[in-house]
Structure 1
Amino acid sequence: MARLVDFVYNELDTRPSYKMDYPEKGLCLILNMEHFDIQGYPRRTGSKKDKKTIKETFKKLGFQIRTEDNLSCKETEKVLLEVATEDHSQRSCFACVILSHGNEHGIFARDKIFTLKWLVTFFSNSYCGSLAGKPKLFFIQACRGEEYDFGIEADGPSDNAQGLAPQILTEEDILYVYSTPPGYFAWRNNVNGSWFIQSLCKILQEHGKNLELMQILTRVNYAVASDYESSSGCKEMPCIVSMLTKELYL
């Protein structure tokens, strides 16, 4: 038994993790869309609270912060080009947080919709060489449809992995963390911010420097699912889609 235990611990000690001791931790790009020119998409009140909390959290983790507000699609493209063509060779990773309206087709800039696939392409290994082999993290607070999750009384496990897989890039070293699975509404409080972003930042501040990222995100899932419920009885469950190839300790 002792030999088996020793073997397990040795295996855990040698699992590969991303190199995170470059001179700089990395850039965190925040794309905050609060005001829209599109009919039917009102102001996202509460988004300023999310933006403030994200800036504080990622700064404490050692990230440089760049914030862009209410960009048109063309302006978004200009910012993405600027960031993607920067020299990231002395940085350990890259993070992007998107706060906006969304639906099953994509995410909204101030004036029109764009796809996550389009945005992430700017940071793919083939386009942004100085981030090749490094973790690229995307956190998306946006609706992905209009369905509401009222929860159910479960009597067994379910597996819907096929439905959760995004039809996007297959590049390595990319992580997507959505506020909700495809098809569902994402909740946001007009004063306190969104359920997902506030839970993410709280747990990153508590454990960001001592737990592996997937452990952190599992705790975020639990916090959102258990701590929040709308006045109409709706719940929310974040959705993690990982193409990371190593463990990540921020």
Structure 2
Amino acid sequence: MAFLVAGMLQVASQVADARESLGRKGKYSVKGPRVALALCSPEVSASTVALLEGVFQTLGFESCQRQESSIQVFSRTAQESAGAAYCPVLRSSLRGALCLGNEEPWGPEPEPGPSIQYDLSGARAALLLAVTQGRPGAQHDVEALGGLCQALGFETALRTDPAGQAFQEEMAQFRKWLDAHRGPVSCALVALMAHGGPQGQLLGADGQEGHLEALVQELSYCGALQGRPKIFLLQACRGESLSTALLLPASQPLLEVMSVNLSLHPQHVSVSALSVSGLAGHRDAGVGPAALPWFRRWPRAPPATPSQADVLRVCADVQGNSRGPTPGSPNQADVLMVYAATEGCVAYRDEKGSDFIQTLVEVLRADPKADLLELMTEVNRQVCELDVLGPDCDERRKACLEIRSSLRRRLCLQI
């Protein structure tokens, strides 16, 4: 009888594990109550607020609270050029598919066409800039990523141990090569692997700083890549984070803040337009379920989840961000940036390489024909499930990616 009871407890534990790990299919469960909070400035029209509240109700949100805010959290531009275009930017640490409607996302997808998928029939180019000095395991990341790029048909340039100034020089040369290339260039990938500075800078082998925003801007203004996807992979600690201001054109009044907290349970998702500031070098211990049934507590401790996981922010237009081209401006379209850590957090690495790069290579090699944004979400799910030991800490810590996307089509690296 004791054996039977123990076996039943183990099965019950495994069933609960499967439900709480996004079903291993990478899909959030949204069967529980949904709550929405809308914060808006006084000048936002009542019709706009009512429209968004109607959307919440259609999606099944039981409570749609509205509050007016007079605090100057957000800013607007003083002048705007006529006919300016704006590109929404998605920032995500989701670990799976989030479907707020009633339809299952697992059915057969429509045949991809030129209107919904990037054309990658042209040349592909990759630039890998990696500091290996003082970064044990970095060479394994370089080799793994270089092999992946070769398998995916990228013409790859590698520079190891660049100085801080060399980051900009190498990127400028890469842009010139792209602009001078004979024939169309369909995609560019840049991997930046180095130590991170306190304000999110990249530190070269000489300890000098390279500024990420200048590197991203270099490709954003590359003529050969206009309308083409630009992929950035960043394996570096991210220092302190900066609060983000949401900027909306006066001609298109929208709610300036939207925050939807479906639950406080760490397996559930928060959708927001705000970013949370962190501390420099923060090591995330993770959070666990607030309450578990007794059969889960007895067999083994519940797995922790990174505290900054399961967050989705969609920014219509953002001003004052010094970390890259102005989000919301047209030149930031078609950019996918994947960070090894969320703002303010440490990016882990050991003698075998980094969890981010090694997991990314495994996931892309396993299913190179899938949509890249979905693959990066799967990479984040796997990274979030890992426990890591920092070099100066005996306690296990958690890691979480941040994905920023202004892609306008599906991006599949292999047809």
Distance 2:356 2:341 in 1: 9
How far the C-alpha of 1:130 sits from its partner, in A, is 0.6
Give 1 or 2 for the bigger CA radius of gyration. Answer: 2
Give ranges in structure 1 of 5+ residues lacking alignment: 36-42
Structure 2 partner of 1:17: 117
How far the C-alpha of 1:160 sits from its partner, in A, is 6.7
SS of the aligned residue for 2:388 comes to coil
Structure 2 partner of 1:32: 130
TM-score scaled by length of structure 1: 0.84
Q: Which runs of 4+ in 1 moved over 6 A?
A: 8-12
Distance 2:139 2:384 in 1: 23
178, 181, 186: which one pairs with 2:347?
Answer: 186
Count of aligned positions: 231
Alpha carbons of 1:74 and 1:115: their partners in 2 closer, same or farther (altered >3 Å)?
A: closer
Distance 1:9 1:200 in 2: 25
Alpha carbons of 1:129 and 1:154: their partners in 2 closer, same or farther (altered >3 Å)?
A: farther
User: C-alpha deviations, 1:116-154, integer Å up to 9, x for none?
Assistant: 111111101xx3101110000000000013000111014
Contact 2:165/2:209, CA 8 A, preserved across alignment = no
Alpha carbons of 1:133 and 1:160: their partners in 2 closer, same or farther (altered >3 Å)?
A: closer
1:113 paired with 2:209, answer yes
1:91 paired with 2:91, answer no
- Percent identity among equivalent residues? 26
153, 156, 165: which one pairs with 1:65?
Answer: 156
1:200 paired with 2:360, answer yes
Structure 1 partner of 2:370: 211
Alpha carbons of 1:154 and 1:161: their partners in 2 closer, same or farther (altered >3 Å)?
A: farther
Contact 1:102/1:108, CA 8 A, preserved across alignment = yes
Contact 1:104/1:182, CA 8 A, preserved across alignment = no
Contact 1:103/1:183, CA 8 A, preserved across alignment = no
User: C-alpha deviations, 1:12-32, integer Å up to 9, x for none?
Assistant: 75661111112x2x1110001
328, 336, 339: which one pairs with 1:175?
Answer: 336
Distance 1:158 1:51 in 2: 29
Q: Partner letter of residue 77 of structure 1?
A: Q
Distance 1:158 1:50 in 2: 26
Which structure has the highest helix share of the two?
1
Structure 2 partner of 1:133: 227
Give ranges in structure 2 of 5+ residues lacking alignment: 1-102, 240-280, 292-308
Comparing 142-151 and 221-230, the one that deviates more: 221-230
User: C-alpha deviations, 1:19-65, integer Å up to 9, x for none?
Assistant: 1112x2x1110001122xxxxxxx00110000000001111111111
SS of the aligned residue for 1:189 comes to coil
